[in-house]
Structure 1
């Protein structure tokens, strides 16, 4: 597994841009800096593997956020391809089940080859845009949201994954039940005084660290700020204050 925790003092910046030009323009605001960035579906489908390779050549760490969810064989084959991109972290939906998650791990191992660490792999539990009411009425899950998240986290650990994507509100509980080395990667992060946008369960960077997040993902508060580099430094400072 790639040692993503060596980047724990760097918040992951979500490059949620519609295309390469916008992403490159943003990265130019950080000359000489090696960042930890997240590339999601929109940008990856626009730019493909070539842009991932460019990011890696520039020294950036990459979390490829594609949230795979399909039959085990399809996910195995996809992960085998993605492993060759030298990404640092990738994810699946825990709702795909244990067999699918096991296949994802095997795909990364086989794609990485001998002598190379496979990328870290984490599972999405419940999206941070999902409320408990929505989970019950639309997913027909009659358990509390926290129990649903913990169930998915333990399922992912048994399948051999390295951690989960979760709200910071569940991070401490997951650490208690799954162990502190099991990653808790938390989106839904908003600096003090920032709008929540479409997120339902949000916390500040400082709060996230105090209550158990391993890594945080921050997008719009940085990428849409008037001064993105200053906004990033503010998030970093708040994150470090949570030690």
Structure 2
């Protein structure tokens, strides 16, 4: 059984909003949340300073930029993103092994420059908003589980620390990548919550039982009338 402290460490609150709301949520969740996710919407609007703001409040940051480009550009982008002090950073597994190795090199360069811990890299497999029909539209006709497994194995062997995948793939990814791999699952919805644009979802306790290291929860917390209460309810489910 998890303690409240252990349960809260499993939940990454997605701050898909503007800076003012992100800082408001950080205050509302003070003493509860340990992790937040900064995605493209917030980072592109505010830049690295928003990561500084959140880290100054004692929060660990998952910088979810889904970096994807030629290896030279990715190495530079990951270095720059890692210099913010972000704890986790997402890249696309579709960039193949050369791009992922370049990303790892960029993260290691930044760690040396900062004289600190290396930002850990999470590869994106298949977006949780996508299903078989969406994959077919972009020319991928393998079954979705096989595509996720292929990208996961490739990314991990090339230097990624783990994977972002839906809760429905978590058990398979844990078996494939081993006990030390980071498996971070978005698409987590407490029972009774709307799925919105997510397709491959699970409840927090289901995702954790399947092998997830951490869970990304956005709108069910950030959009709640009482974000602190919503956060506590998810922790209570994980502790049960």
Instruction: List aligned pairs for 1:168-179, cutoff 5 A.
Output: 168-179=167-178
SS where residue 10 of structure 2 aligns? coil
Structure 2 gap ranges (5+): 1-5
- Alpha-carbon distance between aligned partners in 1 of 2:30 and 2:7, rounded to the nearest angstrom: 18
Question: Does the alignment pair 1:222 with 2:211?
Answer: no
TM-score by length of 2: 0.93
Quote how far apart the aligned CAs of 1:127 are: 0.3
Following superposition, the deviation at residue 239 of structure 1 comes to 2.5
Distance in 1, matches of 2:83 and 2:134, equals 38
Q: What SS does the aligned partner of 1:202 have?
A: coil
Whether contact under 8 Å (2:78, 2:103) holds in the other structure is yes
Q: Hey, what's the Cα distance between the residues in 2 that align with 1:222 and 1:134?
A: 28
After TM superposition, give the deviation of residue 181 of structure 1 in Å.
1.1
Q: CA deviation at 1:7?
A: 8.3
> Which whole-Å deviations, capped at 9, do the CAs of 1:6-48 have from their partners, x for residues lacking one?
887330000010x211111222212445520000000001111
The count of residues paired between Structure 1 and Structure 2 equals: 234
Q: Does 1:128 align with 2:128?
A: yes
TM-score by length of 1: 0.92
Residue aligning to 2:93: 94
Corresponding residue SS for 1:193: coil
Q: Deviations over 1:76-119 (max 9, x none)?
A: 01111122111100010101111001100000101111642201
- Offset of residue 133 of structure 1: 2.0
User: d(CA) in 2 for partners of 1:24 and 1:53?
Assistant: 11
Match of 2:61 in 1: 62
Once residues 7 and 151 of structure 1 are traced to their aligned partners in structure 2, the CA distance between those partners, rounded to angstroms, is: 30
The aligned runs of 1:11-22 (5 Å cut-off) are 11-17=11-17, 19-22=18-21
Contact 1:9 1:236 in 2 (8 A): no
* Counterpart-to-counterpart distance in 1, 2:237 and 2:128: 20
Q: Secondary structure at the match of 2:9?
A: coil
- Aligned partners of 2:14 and 2:37 also within 8 Å: yes
Q: What's 2:233 paired with?
A: 234
Where do 1:18-57 residues align within 5 Å?
19-33=18-32, 35-57=34-56
Query: What is the CA RMSD across the aligned residues, in angstroms?
Result: 1.5
| Structure 2 residue aligned with 1:3 | none
* SS of equivalent residue, structure 1 residue 113: helix
Q: How far, CA to CA, are the matches of 2:32 and 2:209 in structure 1?
A: 26
Separation of aligned partners in 2, 1:8 and 1:132: 33
Unaligned residue ranges in structure 1 (runs of 5+): 1-5
Instruction: Compare 31-40 and 119-128 and name the one that shifted more.
Output: 31-40
Shift of 1:238: 1.7
Distance 2:238 2:45 in 1: 31
Is 2:117 aligned against 1:117?
A: yes
